[in-house]
Copies of this chain bind each other. A is one copy, B any other.
Amino acid sequence: MQNFIFSNPTKIVFGEGQIKELANLVPANARVLVTYGGGSIKKNGVYNQVVQALEGKTWFEFGGIEPNPHYETLMKAVELVKKEKIDFLLPVGGGSVIDGTKLIAAAVDFDGEPWDIMAKNQAFHSALPIGCVLTLPATGTESNGNSVITRASTQEKLAFGSPLVYPRFAILDPTTTYSLPPRQIANGVVDAFVHIMEQYLTYPVDAKVQDRFAEGLLMTLIEEGPRALKEPTNYQVRANVMWAATMALNGLIGVGVPQDWATHMIGHELTAMHGLDHAQTLSVVLPAVMQHQRAKKHGKLVQYGRRVWGLMQSNEEELIDAAIAATRQFFEQMGNPTTLSGYGVGRESIPKLVDMLVKHDLLALGEHGVITPEASREILELAA
């Protein structure tokens, strides 16, 4: 185990009916901005629950935050925050709404062009407090300090992170996910699954607790992901998926262990160039990374196959083959093809995707920093 620092200040308020707790969780005299996306919360009753819970408080609203939230949109929200002297932000929605609201929080008092927080890694020294209502289990943003923002005008998609933008609280009511389209549930399960794999499938450092936790989350998603599609109003299934997705990226399983993230980096280029959903890109890239890096990941691949999939092959290479096949099959069972061709992306795109990795200076990916652009090309060929 490597040395680490772990801290996660987000208060989780979990379960059916918890949205009403906003009445207590939002500071009494706050001037609140409720942010949300395309309006699904108005159809599924979540918006009304929020409005009821905020009764008597001073609040405003800003809707229309896009999937892959647009910088340009968020800057309009910043203007509203300044104009109305907002001092508390309440995103209600999925990862994009919460990610976007984190940038709003950081940008309000930022001295300069807020895009530079992402583009030039410029520090900010304060942020408005955030509390959130999560309606889509997937990214873990509800209890971490990370955010990914897209600049529509240039098609750039960049990330930032800071302890200042951890939500103070996150309300997770599994019933709010009942009305999600199957594709969003599938993507959420795959996204959480790959978050865990990026922190788990590296090389062994004898971090037994972190390994067991990661394996437990993976097994939970394998058991509950397909059921979440088949039984969309099964409360316990949705609750398990929601809690697993939060735990997948709240920092806990990644402490003291190496991390990979090559799959995410390569996948981002696929989203940017071909518009695949984030989790669709992960479904394509992860099995190929597992195959390409099987020698360097040998120890953890064997452990993964045995513990997560219960594989019994005595020949370790055969066991690894089976583990990769099982992973691929799981993504396909969730409805996500695991090849580029499955999304209509041909081999001719591969050189362009590699060019973009080079342009973005992603020249040494993975836990060993050995996934060069040439290796990324090979990975994409394996994924074709």
Contacts and interface: CB of A to CB of B under 8 A. Distances in A.
Contacts of A13: 5
Interface stretch (A74-82, A216-224, A276-284, A374-382): A216-224
A2 B174 CA distance: 12
Contacts of A207: 240
A329 interface: no
A123 B213 CA distance: 36
Contact of A247 (B206, B209, B217, B223): B209
A209 B240 contact: yes
B12 A6 contact: yes
Given A207-B240, A212-B215, A212-B219, A12 B5 contact: yes
Contacts of A8: 8
Contacts of A4: 12, 14-15
A216 B209 contact: yes
Given A9-B9, A213-B216, A240 B206 contact: yes
Contacts of A9: 7, 9
A272 to B, nearest CB: 33
A317 B208 CA distance: 30
A244 interface: yes
B14 A256 contact: yes
Copies of the protein in its oligomer: 2
Contacts of A15: 1-4, 256
Nearest to A256: B14
Contacts of A7: 9-12
A236 interface: yes
Nearest to A218: B212
A16 to B, nearest CB: 7
Contacts of A6: 11-12, 14
Contacts of A265: none
A302 interface: no
A220 B216 contact: no
Nearest to A237: B206
A108 interface: no
A343 interface: no
A209 B244 contact: yes
Contacts of A240: 1, 206-209
B14 A239 contact: no
A208 B245 CA distance: 12
Contacts of A17: 3
Interface string A209-243: 10111011101100110000000000010011001
A239 B8 CA distance: 21
Interface in A93-137: none
A255 interface: yes
Contacts of A291: none
A18 interface: yes
A5 B11 contact: yes
Interface in A283-308: none
Nearest to A206: B236
A149 to B, nearest CB: 27
9 contacts: A4-B14, A5-B13, A6-B11, A7-B12, A206-B240, A208-B224, A209-B247, A212-B217, A216-B216
Interface of A: 1-18, 206-209, 211-213, 215-217, 219-220, 223-224, 236, 239-240, 243-244, 247, 252, 255-256
